Structure 1
Amino acid sequence: MMTLKTLAIVAATAAVLGACATHVAVAEPESAPQEWHLAIHGGAGVILRENLSAEQEAAYVAGLNEAMAAGAAVLRDGGSAVDAVQAAVLPMENSPLFNAGYGAVFAANGTHELDASIMDGRDRNAGSVAGVMHVKNPILAARAVMDRSEHVMFAGPGADAFAEAQGLEMVENSHFDTERRRKSLEHVLKERTRTAAERHGTVGAVAIDSHGNLAAATTTGGMTAKTPGRVGDAPLVGAATYAENGVCAVSATGHGEYFIRVGVAKTICDRVKLAGDSVGEAAQVALDEVAALGGDGGVIVMDGEGNVDFVFNSAGMYRGEISAKGASTAIFRAEPEGDE
């Protein structure tokens, strides 16, 4: 039987151990911040090495690197994923190399109709514009819809008017003209058929920031010689663009009609969330559905931990990724061409 003295010693010992346990719990370090990561694409289609000169290939790589550097600068300074994807696609909207903004393809009537969307994975807020003809950077108009309106999507003249009211830079429709795209229009109108390159050309970005927030953005000039008024998948949340924290972020490029019918971006994220697929596995399932219907294209996908995959069923896709660990770009189906 324990004496009163023994019981006192046991009680004192327990109190000391309890105090130590409390001290250890308080001193436990906070979890490390999420490593930021950004991925971009500049379009998918029949991109064959023999069709690109060394100078052209170098120009595309430089364009991809410029876009990645712009997005990385935001993330490196602790900025948000949604600001980063916007920053990444802006250089591609301003480059004649890509089918978005300046350098966008022509519709059949010789005008340009531009589409864009952006989505914030924190609360799944989103904004998009379709068929804009005068706002210089459609992705900025999509962002304004998300941030400064109660709506998700504006289209046509109303979208341009909204962008102008927000103080965005407006231009004549001819600002988007390039000789290269005019020749493509003439080819399609003459031959009454489109190559895969004339069907595709969307650009986009996905990112995760140091707080673990995901975002996605997509912007395009559409399809060469399209019927005026046609809207593809790029401005449609769930088709080409989707982001949900802890699940995935997606930006797609390809034959938009098929991506709409499959709901590619939402299909991918739902499979990750509900079926437990990796983003690569989910993307492959979605693109297999696209292919079964007769379409092609590709996606960039990122999961809730910042892991990236590039999945495409076309001959090539302009793409790249960058993080604190380094950067790489690729065009063809080979491994990434080089590091920054």
Structure 2
Amino acid sequence: MYKILTFFFLLFLTIGCNNNDNKHKNIDEIQLSNSKKTDNSLKFAIVIHGGAGTILKENMSDSLETAYRNKLEEAIKVGHEILKNGGTALEAVTNAINVMEDSPLFNAGKGAVFTHEETNELDASIMDGNTLNAGAVAGVTHIKNPINLAYEVMVNSEHVMLAGNGAEEFAKLRGFELVDPYYFYTENRFQSLQRIKQKEKTELDHNGKTAFADPFIKDSKFGTVGCVALDKNGSIAAGTSTGGMTNKRWNRIGDAPIIGAGTYANNATCGVSSTGWGEYFIRAMVAHDISAMMEYKGVSLQEATQEVIHKKIPALGGDGGIVALDKDGNIAMEFNTAGMYRAYINTEGELFIGIYKEE
């Protein structure tokens, strides 16, 4: 009897040990699987632009070029630090754009260009690729950081776009401090307007033509800033902010605040921020078109951006550029102008800063 009991006891221990081994094995497999998922989710990247146009090295002083490169580096690193610390793509986008909005170097926020009436009218938009929610403001004149108000429209209103006085009334209700319009005054932007007005007047006096076909004036609409980011959770966000076109009239609004033209983000495909001749970017719905090509045709980010920027937009007669980032962290910075202020930090942590086409 004793021998029989001993046999069953040993059998029970053996089965129990095997079950424990299997449990440990299953736990190890789950942990390994989760580890692999975590590794994939830790992929993050960010790309920015500060406008495209006839940006030539021979027209740029060494000190001004250094100033642009330093500010681009500051903006990209601010956004990247947020992503590295587990922040969201939306946080990275707004904060990177804030750096450029607060600098007089770019046509957004502090450095916004002047309208024909010698005022500053600012536009911005932002989009969340996870939810496809979006927010935008247009024609605001007292908002220090328009991208922040666009974000506020997205998360705290039932609307996508607010404009002019209504947008500023909403800003006050949400606790935004309205700044004096003189905050946006910069001497070089003001003098640019005066030169364009004089040139326009001269042409009208001589031949009755408007000056909008003149290359100098055509380039006066570039300088928009934008950002696209991919965070550790796999979410993409895109944002764009601008002062619009120098000498614009009649509350003209370009592509920057228009979802699908100046800004678009979709976690399934990519995020895009545009800069260029807004009228053409609206007609081509540039940002959404790039995403749609990826979604419906299955092409890569690079193929889609090249098709739209180097074929579709020039065929219409427009020019400009985009920065974009896909769900895998691939980066595109395409433009059909002489230059575009741009920077990225990719998924490997590599920093790039560029201004001219040949870089």
TM value normalised by structure 1: 0.91
Give SS of 2:111's match. Answer: coil
Give the drift of 1:27. Answer: 4.7
2:38 corresponds to 1:26: no
Distance in structure 2 (CA, Å) of the matches to 1:219 and 1:209: 21
How far apart, CA to CA, are the structure 2 residues paired with 1:26 and 1:46? 55
CA distance in 2, matches of 1:93, 1:326: 24
Amino acid at match of 2:297: A
Structure 1 or 2: more helix by fraction: 2
CA distance in 1, matches of 2:161, 2:43: 32
Q: How far apart, CA to CA, are the structure 2 residues paired with 1:258 and 1:23?
A: 56
Which of 133, 146, 153 in structure 2 is aligned with 1:138?
146
Q: 1:25-78 CA distances to partner (integer Å, 9 max, x unpaired)?
A: 435332213321010000000000000010010000011011112111211110
- The 2-side partners of 1:308 and 1:274 are apart by 20
Offset of residue 181 of structure 1: 0.5
Shift in Å at residue 302 of structure 1? 0.7
Unaligned runs of 5+ in 2: 1-14, 201-210
1:81 equivalenced with 2:105 (yes/no): no
Tell me which residue corresponds to 1:157: 165
2:3 paired residue number: none
| Aligned equivalent of 1:4 | none
CA distance in structure 2 between the partners assigned to 1:141 and 1:26 by the alignment: 43
1:281 is aligned with what amino acid? Answer: E
Where does the alignment leave 5 or more consecutive residues of structure 1 unmatched?
1-11, 336-340
Query: Which residue is equivalent to 1:252?
Result: 274
- Residue 23 to residue 108, structure 1, CA distance change in 2 (3 Å): closer
What SS does structure 2 have at the residue aligned with 1:29?
Answer: helix
SS of residue paired to 1:142: helix
Among candidates 307, 325, 331, match of residue 330 of structure 2: 307
- Deviation (angstroms), 1:246: 2.7
Q: Tell me how far 1:334 sits from its aligned partner.
A: 2.1
| 1:232 and 2:236 aligned | no
Instruction: Tell me the equivalent position of 1:115.
Output: 123
TM-fit CA distance, 1:24: 6.5
* Larger Cα-atom Rg: 2
- Please report how far the alpha carbon of residue 266 of structure 1 lies from its aligned counterpart in structure 2 after TM superposition: 0.4
Counterparts of 1:139 and 1:99, CA distance in 2: 13
On the 8 A contact 1:246/1:305 being kept in 2, the answer is no
Structure 1 partner of 2:304: 282
- Aligned-partner Cα distance in 2 for 1:108–1:330: 32
CA distance in 2 between counterparts of 1:210 and 1:88 reads 17
The residue aligned with 2:320 is 297
Counterpart of 2:278, as a letter, is G
Equivalent residues of 1:115, 1:128 under 8 A apart? yes
CA RMSD, 1 decimal: 1.7
Structure 1 pair 158–23 and aligned structure 2 pair: CA distance change class (3 A): closer
**Distance (Å, rounded) in 2 between the aligned partners of 1:190 and 1:74:** 45
1:116-135 CA deviation, whole Å, 9 max, x = no partner? Answer: 00001110110000000111
Contact 1:118–1:218, Cα closer than 8 Å, also in 2? yes
Contact 1:140/1:168, CA 8 A, preserved across alignment: no
What is the letter of the counterpart of residue 209 of structure 1? D
Identity of aligned residues (%): 47
Compared CA separation, residues 185 and 211, structure 1 to 2 (3 A) = same
Aligned to 1:130, the other structure's residue is in SS state strand
Aligned structure 1 segments of 4 or more residues deviating by more than 6 angstroms: none
TM-score (ref. length: structure 2): 0.86
> 1:23, CA displacement in angstroms?
6.3
Q: Is the 8 A contact 1:106 1:225 kept in 2?
A: yes
Which amino acid in structure 2 is aligned with residue 136 of structure 1? K
CA deviation after TM superposition for structure 1 residue 257, in Å: 0.1
User: 2:182 maps to what in 1?
Assistant: 174
Count of residues paired in the alignment: 321
